[in-house]
Amino acid sequence: MVAEQWTGISEELRYEIGESNHKNWIAPLECLGIRDGVVRFRAPSRFVGDWVKRTYHDQIFSRLQTIGTDVTRMEFIVGEPAQRAATTTATATANKISSGDELQGAPLDGKYNFDNFVVGKPNELAHAAARRVAEGGPVTFNPLFLYGGVGLGKTHLMHAIAWELKAKRPDLQVLYLSAEQFMYRFVQALRDREIMDFKNLFRSVDVLMVDDVQFIAGKDSTQEEFFHTFNALVDQNKQIVISADRAPGEIKDLEARISSRMQCGLVVDLHPTNYELRLGILHRKAAQFAQSYGSIKIDDGVFEFLAHRITTNVRVLEGALQRLFAFSSLIGQEVSQDMVQDCLSDMLRSSERRVTVEEIQRKVAEHFNIRLSDMLGPKRTRTIARPRQIAMYLSKEMTSRSLPEIGRRFGGRDHTTILHGVRKVIEMREQDNQLNEDIELLRRLLES
């Protein structure tokens, strides 16, 4: 295999694994060629090499195979890529994972800053809390626990905090990494008998940010170590920022003592986006893309259409826009409604999946452990009435059925009863976090 082929594979991976993963793990690799069934890369550190091998092995191999190579193994040598090494002195980059530059944590994505973060009702609290932490003043809540579904901006906010702190408080040692990386380093330190170094390292930071902490749930010794690190830092009044895909108490197999310590600080959630926020994000991203693709004319209504149709997560929304820009600049035409249909047919199709009232009733009944017949029947006890109202609400939100139509499907209820149920849920959502979580979970289940 030659360098150009690797470039092609690398580009494909960019789409598959996302810009920031690509930048962190794939872009730093230099492909040195294939010999005797072994593909060799130069990686900036052993950490990167091991990570790539563990995480992207299959994706890389399947591509190498489709271009007709017969690789069976990958190998990494540690060192700077040829282009860069030429300008620096012969850096015998430490190929041991210990000491010194360890504290760099995971690389930060330059685009994930506060300027690029669009604030709306669903994320305003999380944003405000992140801003506060980023001021680097006295620690007021510890930890800051950010949670929310995939692609709602948790990582973006954490990077933004790190950037801001680096700029404002260069004296502070800020460490950002994913929980997976935390575990990986921990395991490595155990293996290399460097556990004291590991402990000292983590206890010496001023701000520790651990992304996707749900990952360590159920991994006992990692949890244990994390808990000690966490406590040691809190005791020293060092700021900790944690993210997860759900609330601390909801993370299965997370030790109770950890979960309760997490709740001692400020727990804020990023709610699913609403239409206005999605529209705002599209406009912002379009301005950003225009910098790399040149300005491209976009027909009226395209943004509105996308904001309306792609509701799952911001990453997908961004991917859609990126594809439109790429396509449009390639064929030299403005982005029209027709182009959107052609170019994004796959994404639009998947978001088109129709959910039926019956499916909603079934899933909600299952979730709350009640009988479907009760959901449709006349019982009015709270344990039955509440799930029923939630099902009514979801039916109104997720299907195009009218209130009378929904009423008929709920055992022939009047449309005013449905309306009452829907309103009740909207009202309760204002203050009931548990309810919000149940609803979002159900929505995800139904959409998948």
- Check residue 153 for interaction with ligand ADP (CB under 6 A): yes
Q: Which of residues 101-140 bind ligand ADP (CB under 6 A)?
A: 112, 116-118, 123
- Check residue 361 for interaction with Mg ion (CB under 5 A): no
- Check residue 143 for interaction with ligand ADP (CB under 6 A): no
- Check residue 399 for interaction with Mg ion (CB under 5 A): no
- Check residue 395 for interaction with Mg ion (CB under 5 A): no
3-state secondary structure 114-136: CCCCCCCHHHHHHHHHHHHHHCC
In the complex, the smallest distance separating the C-beta of residue 113 from Mg ion, rounded to whole angstroms, is 15
In the complex, the smallest distance separating the C-beta of residue 19 from ligand ADP, rounded to whole angstroms, is 7
- Check residue 155 for interaction with Mg ion (CB under 5 A): yes
Q: CA quadruple 261, 262, 264, 265: dihedral positive or negative?
A: positive
What does the alpha-carbon distance between residue 155 and residue 175 come to, in Å, rounded to a whole number?
14
Q: Which of 148/248 has CB closer to ligand ADP?
A: 148
Tokens of 59: 């994706």
What does the alpha-carbon distance between residue 373 and residue 365 come to, in Å, rounded to a whole number?
9
In the complex, the smallest distance separating the C-beta of residue 303 from ligand ADP, rounded to whole angstroms, is 14
**Short-list 420, 428, 425, 355, CA closest to 390:** 425
Out of 96, 132, 246, 315, the only residue in the binding site for ligand ADP (CB under 6 A) is 315
Out of 22, 42, 154, 261, the only residue in the binding site for ligand ADP (CB under 6 A) is 154
- Check residue 20 for interaction with Mg ion (CB under 5 A): no
Q: CA quadruple 370, 376, 378, 382: dihedral positive or negative?
A: positive
Calculate the alpha carbon distances from 27 to 43, 138, 207, 325, 405 in Å: 10, 38, 27, 22, 54
What does the alpha-carbon distance between residue 420 and residue 305 come to, in Å, rounded to a whole number?
30
For residue 246, what are the contacts with CB-CB under 8 A and spacing of at least 6?
147, 214, 437
Out of 22, 42, 63, 156, the only residue in the binding site for ligand ADP (CB under 6 A) is 156
Q: Which of residues 270-299 bind ligand ADP (CB under 6 A)?
A: 281
CB 159, CB 112: distance < 8 Å: yes
- Check residue 319 for interaction with ligand ADP (CB under 6 A): no
340 binds, among Mg ion, ligand ADP, none (CB under 5 to 8 A by kind): none
Which residues make up the interface to ligand ADP (CB under 6 A)?
112, 116-118, 123, 148, 150-156, 281, 314-315, 318
